[in-house]
Amino acid sequence: MTVRNGQGQQGVGRLRPGGSAVPLSEAYDTALLDLDGVVYAGGEAVPHAVEALGVARAGGMHLAYVTNNALRTPDAVAEHLTELGVPAEAGDVITSAQAVARLIADDVPPGSRVLVIGGEGLRVALRERGLVPVDSAEDEPVAVVQGYGGPEMPWGRFAEASYAVARGLPWYASNTDLTIPGARGIGPGNGAAVEVVRIATGGRVEPKVAGKPLPPMHRETVLRTGARRPLVVGDRLDTDIEGAFNGGVDSLLVFTGVTDAAQLLRAVPEHRPTYVAADLRGLLVGQPEVVAEEDGSFVCGGWRASVSAPSGGELVLEGPAEAAAGAAADPMDAVRALCGAAWSAADAVGGGVPDAGKVLARLGL
């Protein structure tokens, strides 16, 4: 299942991670990078991110930053990235605010008023589409849109959205990420705010959502980047990786944000990335092949993973075998092999998700 040409498989769930004979920064022309939990967390650069992105860019890879966070404008995001040591321009940044603004503009007449529950990024995106942001349900809006407004968002803003939705106004959301990583840990995201409004309005209506993993965000990204062989890079299975799956493009999961190894091993087909790496340094190297053996085990980099029983059971990990020239075995290779064993077992007829507790404790993951 080696992938060397950057062509994803839409609608096909993989049974093991893919391999690449060349560094990913050479195999793909554009990296579509998530921001929170991938490039930075809580405003500070993720370890190794600045250096890895600098090398990838110097080698000719185009870097685009695709975020479900609608709080800030592309200008503000680009300025922040540049301050961190990752040179960027506003045109390199694609946000869910831009995607939802296009979605609304397709549905309402130009110049329409839209009730905004969110930050400046959402307001700027609406104005770019010829729409007029307003603050109250009494301002005669024709629609209401929610986007992440930051941890200081007043509770009254959710009440304002609830009044508008209850009156039957079309309801939009930039994204529905329930959480967002920050410097102090994982906090509530825009999806949690959407749930507040849903509960207050009796759960009778659903918002139109633009952000990852849904098609409007993929459309916005393609239109703005012109990427031909893109690689989605993210930390979330249910947005970044599923979005890549839905768009039929390849993906790289990094473990610097919200997803851990246990969640990856339990991933349903649409949440399984093409590649796995500890952090963004994974862009700069090839990806080892995960080999399926005749006995049902999976081998990667000296590690062998299998399942103790056909219908679920426990994951079993052997190795590392003696590495060539005394090189240290990479625990990420163990994770890759375990993915093969776990995903294949889960997808087998009558199969179940095998228990990974013991092997992950051994790896310290």
pLDDT for 205-248, tens place per residue? 999 999 999 989 988 998 899 999 999 999 999 999 999 999 99
Would you state the pLDDT for residue 312? 63
Q: What is the mean pLDDT of residues 282-301?
A: 96
Would you state the pLDDT for residue 43? 85
Would you state the pLDDT for residue 328? 64
Would you state the pLDDT for residue 327? 52
Total residue count of the chain as it appears in this document = 365
Range list of H helices, the chain: 24-27, 49-58, 74-84, 96-107, 120-128, 155-166, 190-200, 215-225, 242-247, 261-265, 331-347, 357-363
DSSP for 54-96?
A: HHHHHTT-EEEEEES--SS-HHHHHHHHHHHT----GGGEEEH
Would you state the pLDDT for residue 7? 40
Angle of CA points 19, 20, 24, to nearest 5° = 125
Do 184 and 107 meet the contact criterion of CB atoms below 8 Å apart?
A: no
pLDDT beyond 60 at 115: yes
- Percent of the chain surpassing pLDDT 90: 84
Q: How confident is the model at residue 365 (pLDDT cuts 50, 70, 90)?
A: confident
Would you state the pLDDT for residue 277? 98
Catalytic site residue from 29, 36, 92, 333 = 36
Q: What is the mean pLDDT of residues 56-63?
A: 97
36 in catalytic set: yes
Query: CA-CA distance, 77 to 127, in Å (whole number)?
Result: 18
Would you state the pLDDT for residue 265? 97
- How far does Cα 72 stand from its chain's mean position? 18
pLDDT beyond 90 at 189: yes
- Choice between 164 and 185, residue whose per-residue pLDDT is larger: 164
- pTM: predicted TM-score of the whole model, two decimal places: 0.88
The CA R_g of the chain, rounded to the nearest whole Å, is 22
295 in catalytic set: no
